[in-house]
Amino acid sequence: MRTRTLIVVTLAALLLGAGLIVQAQDANDTDGESAPDEHERTVAIEREGSTVTLALERRGEPDTDPVTVGFDPPNATLDVAYGAGETTMTVAFEAIVEYTDDNGNGTYDFGEPIVSSARLSPTSGEANASEGNQTRWAAPIVTNATSGQAEGKRVVAPAEIPSNGTFTIEIEAYGERAQVRNVTLSPASVRVGLTTRGYDFQREDTELALFLAVVMGDDQTGDQYRARGERQRGFLTAEDVDDGSVNLLFAWGTTATVDGEQLIAQTTQLGIEEARRGEETQGEEGRRTAEGEPETQPWRQPDDEEDTERYVLSYPRGDRIEHAAEVEVGLDGADTTDDAPGVGLALTASMLLAAAALRRDR
């Protein structure tokens, strides 16, 4: 009898260990990322001025740690906030750029000639100041969204870029775990889709890139993010709170769909010093564009603050380029094991086996 009890208890311990291993693997699936906020949420739409916001509130606790992700078309900014708006991040989409890949490495490198560009925001640099490459944003379209059994909201913000091209930003959230186009969203995650179509290339030997900036809020620290397996790149911020820390992540895939084919999407990080050099080297003696004109960079004019990171996402040439990104809230120091399916199943199985063994011994 004791032998049978020992065997059952051993099996229970193995099941519990397996569940903990699963949880550990999930928690360590990425470098530098905390555990996702797994509290299920309701998803609502809020409007203020030109901004349309996805508001994710905890079910049964609407005032506890809400998550908001809003898009403001005139400024081409994605504004993320956690809690009472104290932890924030802004993603600014600055310009779509046609450039000459001088060294043939498939990515924009600082100083390579810019052939043409389409300004996405009104403050994204003098290179885009002419009417010829002005982007016209349409009013965002709000619809209900479904993914399996999950129900959520979707916001689609289209923009017309020069010569009948389009750039579209799509954000959607479900408030629970959902599988969306091969991406698993946690309850506090928002999918961001970036689609460029019909860009008017001026030359036959050029590539396309998207310039963006990530701005973190006050009292936050930031770090580069790279998922294991090279699935994602991005920027991760952290802010200390009473029970640990809150992380805000904006990440994008390392591949994009170009005319229906999955291809590599390269990432270039532009430091603040490079941005300053880009400003200082304008004029007669500065770098020049492919047409021989003095070059002006398409990013926002740099400032003295160190809270901004700039990136260039480079794509193979194509007519339709679709790139998936994601906003996620993570928590350090919070108890998330209750929501971990591996641990829950293991605990349940362990308890049942142990109870059965005790009953038999009696």
Q: Residue 52, class by beta-carbon neighbours within 10 Å (0-12 exposed, 13-18 middle, 19+ buried)?
A: buried
Say how far apart CA 225 and CA 234 lie, in whole Å: 5
The answer on pLDDT for 1 being more than 90 is no
pLDDT value of position 133: 67
Q: Higher pLDDT residue, 8 or 220? A: 220
Please state whether the predicted TM-score (pTM) of the whole model is above 0.85: no
Bridge partners (DSSP) of residue 58 are 41, 61
Domain ranges of the chain: 1-35+336-362, 93-335
Name the range with the highest mean pLDDT among 17-26, 91-100, 174-183. Answer: 91-100
Using CA atoms, how far residue 145 sits from 34, 149, 179, in Å, is 27, 11, 12
pLDDT band at 158 (very low <50, low <70, confident <90, very high): very high
Please, how many CA atoms are within 13 Å of residue 110, restricted to the half-sphere of its CB? 16
Using CA atoms, how far residue 2 sits from 6, 350, 358, in Å, is 6, 18, 10
**Residue 361 phi, psi dihedral angles, 5° rounding:** -65, -30
Using CA atoms, how far residue 259 sits from 158, 214, 322, 325, in Å, is 19, 28, 8, 18
Average pLDDT score over residue span 136-165 = 93
Average pLDDT score over residue span 45-65 = 90
pLDDT tens digits for 256-297? 999 999 999 999 998 744 554 554 444 333 444 445 554 445
The sign one gets for the Cα dihedral 268, 77, 68, 166 is negative
Average pLDDT score over residue span 318-340 = 75
Average pLDDT score over residue span 321-335 = 83
- The end-to-end CA distance of the chain, in Å, is 10
Average pLDDT score over residue span 67-87 = 90
Average pLDDT over the chain reads: 77
pLDDT tens digits for 24-51? 444 344 454 557 778 899 999 999 999 9
- Radius of gyration, alpha carbons of the chain: 24
Q: What six digits make up the tokens of 114? A: 């810019």
pLDDT tens digits for 194-215? 999 999 999 999 999 999 999 9
pLDDT value of position 244: 76
Bridge partners (DSSP) of residue 12 are none
Q: Residue 283, class by beta-carbon neighbours within 10 Å (0-12 exposed, 13-18 middle, 19+ buried)?
A: exposed
pLDDT value of position 333: 58
pLDDT value of position 30: 45
CB 71 within 8 A of CB 172: no
pLDDT tens digits for 225-257? 887 667 889 988 888 877 678 889 999 999 999
The answer on pLDDT for 60 being more than 60 is yes
Counting every residue written for the chain, the total comes to 362
The answer on pLDDT for 345 being more than 70 is no
Average pLDDT score over residue span 143-148 = 94
